[in-house]
Amino acid sequence: MTAAVVTGAGSALPAALDQEAAWDGFFAAHYADVRAAKRIFLGAGVRRRHAVANPLDEDLSNWGTGARMARYVQEALPLGKQAVAGALDSAGLAPGDVGLFAVATCTGYATPGLDIRLASDLGMPPGLQRLLIGHMGCYAAIPGLAAVGDFVAARSRPAVLLCCELTSLHVQPAQRDLEQVVAHALFSDAAAAVVLEPGAGRGRRLAGVVARTDASTADLMTWDVTDLGFRMGLSPRVPGVLSKHVGEVVDELLAGAGLRVEDVAGWAVHPGGPKIIDVVRDELGLAEEQVAASRRVLSEHGNCSSATVLLVLQEMADVDGPVVAMAFGPGLTLYAALLLPA
């Protein structure tokens, strides 16, 4: 079967928001009655992030979900268009060349969805196949890659995957809840896209995908639709659960290609937070410099949900050799992909 190869990538970011300014100008008052809130917020490993709704300019915490969804469509379309256009340009393809367009998001709903609206706006063909990957959370980029990779390999047609997440639209009302402090400290907005082509002689070949879900811990990470947007539940037990599974997932992924941990040239670890990166580093026996790209993305962009691991892969564009991409989310679910030089 023809290999699916990642040949192009693009991203788009809204205006930057300084972490300390966000605390001083909004969240300090929001969490005035929560002990340790400032320490947690400023210790999240985030220096700045990006937001279509800057809390220093507008407070969405009491907006209804309908208003937030309308804003999502308004803001997501130009960001998604920029990311997809950049990915196609870097791959040297035109919108008319695309056979499948997949969109992953957990931060907004609309029908017709972003896939239909963006395909039309970009000039993709009317016979285009489309796939909308909804509400999987931070790990959605990896099953998205698997799905579009299977299409590319089976149909010998190029495909595009877009991850577009606007978490700033879901700022919650003030409440004495440390999980909400953590969520508001970490999450950010971004759109990131990749192009996969059949049998290309350049780029990174998708060589394998492994998944693991620990359903016994499903209550530790949640993303609930409420009347006031979507609300994150994020237990401090999450890193401990991931530590039990990350080693076996990576071993299974690498064994399929006859590789070992020491053969991997690059680790694109989803930076769900500083402790998540620490767990992966320690469980796999990696050096700190091997997770430096994930630290940089967390510091400069925050946790952009499904788009984040694609941003880390872009950060590692010059890495030569096998690359492992990993992401984690509700379930609790771990996903990992192996990318080899084409």
* Mean pLDDT, rounded, for 310-331: 96
Question: What is the residue-averaged pLDDT of the chain?
Answer: 96
Confidence of residue 108 (pLDDT cuts 50, 70, 90): very high
Confidence of residue 166 (pLDDT cuts 50, 70, 90): very high
pLDDT at 288 over 90: yes
Q: Is the dihedral angle over the CA atoms 54, 55, 58, 61 positive or is it negative?
A: positive
CATH class of 204-341: alpha beta
Q: What is the pLDDT at residue 297?
A: 98
Q: What is the pLDDT at residue 68?
A: 98
Is 138 catalytic? The answer is yes
Cα–Cα separations (whole angstroms), residue 240 to 222, 244, 279: 17, 7, 8
Q: Which CATH architecture has domain 4-198?
A: 3-Layer(aba) Sandwich (3.40)
What digits encode the pLDDT tens for the residues 20-39? 999 999 999 999 989 899 99
Are 4-198 and 204-341 the same fold in CATH?
yes
Q: What is the pLDDT at residue 55?
A: 97
As a whole number of angstroms, the distance between CA 326 and CA 243 comes to 13
Q: Where are the domains of the chain?
A: 4-198, 204-341
Write down the catalytic residue from 138, 163, 164, 304.
138
Q: pTM for this structure?
A: 0.97
* CB burial string 135-163: b at 16+ within 10 A, e below: ebbbbbbbbbbbbbbbbbbeeebbbbbbb
Please answer whether residues 146 and 210 qualify as being in contact, where contact means their C-beta atoms are separated by less than 8 angstroms: no
Q: What is the pLDDT at residue 1?
A: 74
Residues in the chain: 342
Q: What is the pLDDT at residue 144?
A: 98
